[in-house]
Structure 1
Amino acid sequence: MYDAVVVGGGIVGSSVGYHLARAGVETLLVDRCDPGRATTAGAGIVSPGTSSRTADDDWFAFGTAAGDYYSELVDRLEADGVDDTSYAEVGLIAAAIDDDELGPYEEATARIEARRDELPDIEEIDPAAATDRVPALAEPQRAFHVPDAARVNGETFARALREAGRTHGLETTERDVTSIRTEGGRESRLPDGRDARVTGVETADGSRIEADRVVVAGGAWSPAFGDDLGVEIPVEPKRGQIVHLDLPDAETGSWPVLKGFRHHYIVPWPDGRLVAGATRETGSGFDPRVTAAGLEEVLGEALRVAPGLADATVIEHRVGLRPVSADGVPILGAVPGVEGAHLATGHGATGLTLGPYSGKVVADRITDQKSVPDAVSVARFADGSR
């Protein structure tokens, strides 16, 4: 018998598990390690101030809190004995190379100017200064610099959360949860008048794991549990393909993240490693394949922005099935009418930016009954319960 079971071991589920265990909640994290999990593929840019959602007050407040929380969380993980979180503040350069990018560039800078009091350190820089910082970069027509932007490897950070969680008693297992078990229901109320409550989960081998609380953090696969909870979980997969590169003899560890204005990016890592991405493919379903068209798109865009990468070695391809909610915003918190059921999903392309903080928010809701911000609350889809 556990106090809580977390279904899903990506960065969001791992964060929920860590924060619950740290609060003294006896927690089991169950993960079946699906091919195409978004966390495993994520290149990892933490820069909420440059999001296209910056104009949305609610999203900006949540995104800023999430970005700010990283440094505090990293300190905690290191205090728990974790040696490598992969997180580093390296800055970001957003560069408009071609004429068609100047309009989106102006829109981005206008959003930043509207938040100037909250984003005081973002500044436009001389194109030559941009290429000085990143020798592989094509000289842009215009560029701005975000000094506090960071990079993070999603897989490494999720592993760090689980490792630190184990020091607080978190248990983990690789199994396939097939259903969430409840008692009561809308046709058979519990004695105290509530609709239903969670009693645990069942796995593919027929085992039952008893728990008072269950957190669904299954990424794009989360909707599979909607029928069990009598609620719609409006999340669909969006495929993103990325490419890992090795640039011989390049000091890439000090390079900032690069972003153009066609929704692609290049994330540098030490020792000549870089990650270029990503496609945004709707209608691909749960198909975690690398495709010829996807590689062409990613590599073509990387070389357009940074032609100095032409001699880089292609060392790996990855695919992530991003869990995109119906309104593009995470779905967090308690499921109405089912005591003990919680959701932590729907982050889309912002999983690595928002995920660790989202996990804390859901854990705080469970342990301290703290409210979840309306902008990300499950309650906004309450009319979809069934």
Structure 2
Amino acid sequence: MTKTRIACAVVGVLSLVAAALMAWWITPSYVARIPDGKNISRTYEGTFQSLLDPTALASGNLLGAIKQNVPMSVAQDVKVEKTSGGKALISDSRTTSAGGTKVEQTKWEYAVDRKSLEAVSGHPSSWNVIPAQGLTVSWPFGAKKKNYQGWTPETQTVATLTYLRSEKKQGITTYAYEAKVPPTKIVDPQILATLPKQLPSSLLKLLGTAGALPAAQAGQLAQILPELPAEVTLAYTFQDDSTFWIDPNTGLVIDVQRNQQRIAAIALPNGTTVPLIPAVAATYQTAPASAQKAADDARHGRTVIRWLGVYLPIILLALGFVLLVLAGGLGLLRGRRQRPVAPTSGPTSAPGGTSAAPPQE
């Protein structure tokens, strides 16, 4: 019985310790964070309200240079390339197509904290990453009803991700956040590589007189054309109005609605710009099948976190308590069985003073 009591006590204590470790250390530190080799693929679909064809524009084909209401799709692949302790090297690859034809391909790499998902600077020197700030590819585990800072790769600036409300998406209670990026200069080299860097002033004149530009822009262009060189340098700005629906438990993006523009402008020698025409004006959202997959991933992740961080610790806590109570009960029982009996020194008297011993003959 002594060995059983000791075993119950030891296992009980270990169960209590394991419950505490699972709830307050192992799950928060090693479960609720980006795992090695994680790969998330999402697709988006929408419309290019306006799309500039650089090849057609350069050739002087004004009718074919500006395409309107073209179906668009975006394939995004987010992958954990490497990890180092609490940090991860994450790549964000996107392929954009117009009417089934690829028009843009980008890839950005970030060093992020594996739990908060925020960009970090202290990472292995071999990682070739963008020096980003704020959130880059997703929200943190245990997202809060508060504002965050998010990275805009096109402009390499941060924007406020404003918490709006709690809302059901795909059967999941999500937190909705809004990002608004005002017109900001595009500096990302991958984006700029797909856009014309210069245009002949003669071609700009044709754009203004052929009705390809809005009236306000055409009027501005007519005023400055006499002062422009033969080859005019172009600059581009990016603006965004997007809403994201986030699973607060896992930080996964369940749905996205985006409205974005890239505006081509004339870069004047004095440093100012004159907006001309949208190089890209697009509205798109998460494809239904992709949103459903995101919701399924969120449910699975939430189940794992709850089982390891809540349910299993409760089970271990109950088991430890029962085993310690059992060990205490066995100790009490053993103590009663081993209680010594008081020795007798002579015959015992019966009631009334009569001896209970047999009479001597």
TM-score (norm 2): 0.23
Which protein has the larger Cα radius of gyration, Structure 1 or Structure 2? 2
Q: Decide which structure has greater strand share.
A: 2
Compare relative contact order (CA 8 Å, sep 6+) and give the higher one, 1 or 2: 1
